[in-house]
A and B are shown apart, each in its own frame.
Chain A
Amino acid sequence: QQQVKQSPQSLIVQKGGISIINCAYENTAFDYFPWYQQFPGKGPALLIAIRPDVSEKKEGRFTISFNKSAKQFSLHIMDSQPGDSATYFCAARGGNTPLVFGKGTRLSVIA
C-alpha cells in the first residue's frame, strides 16, 4: 500500500526552466512533508521540508507548495540548472513514526 504517490517518474527540463514534481497522500495524520535530493552513487539528503500550517515554503530556487484540502504537495525548482539533475523523493510522516517515501522522480536538466 503506497501511502505517498509521486509523479512524474522522470522529468526532462531545459536549463532555466521550472521543474515541478507532485505528491499526493491519503493519511490525514501526516504532519511533516520533506523532500530529499539524491545524486547518483550517494545517499538521499534533506532538501526542504514543510509542515501543514503553511501553504508555501521557499528556500532559494526551491519552493514547496502545500494544499491541505487536496492532500497534495509539490516541489518547484525555479531556474533549473544541470547541477539540479538528481532523483527527488517526497516523503511524509505522522506523529512519532518513520518517514514514508514516494517512489522518486529522476530529473534531468539539459542545456
Chain B
Amino acid sequence: KAGVTQTPRYLIKTRGQQVTLSCSPISGHRSVSWYQQTPGQGLQFLFEYFSETQRNKGNFPGRFSGRQFSNSRSEMNVSTLELGDSALYLCASSLQGITNEKLFFGSGTQLSVL
C-alpha cells in the first residue's frame, strides 16, 4: 500500500507570492490533516478535512487555506507569503480521523520564503 505522498518536496518562493501544496492520502483514508513545523514552534496543527469538508481548524491566519477533493486528495494554499511562513509542511491521513486512530504522515514539503 502506498504511503502518504506530498508534492513538491522542496519549494522556494519570495515574499508576497502564493503557494499550493498537494497531499495524496493512503488509499481508503478519508481524513487529511495539515501541520506546520518550525524549529522554534515545533509542529502545529493547521486544519483537517474529511469528506471534502473542513472539520477542524487550528490557530492560523486566513492566508492559510485548504480543500479536499472527492478522491480525498488535499491541497493547502498560502497566499501573500511572509518570511515566517518558511517551514516544513506536513500532511497526515487516517481512515476516519477519530482520536484513537493512527495518523500516517507524509515526508513533507520544505518551503523557503526569501
To the question of whether A and B form a pair in one complex, the answer is no
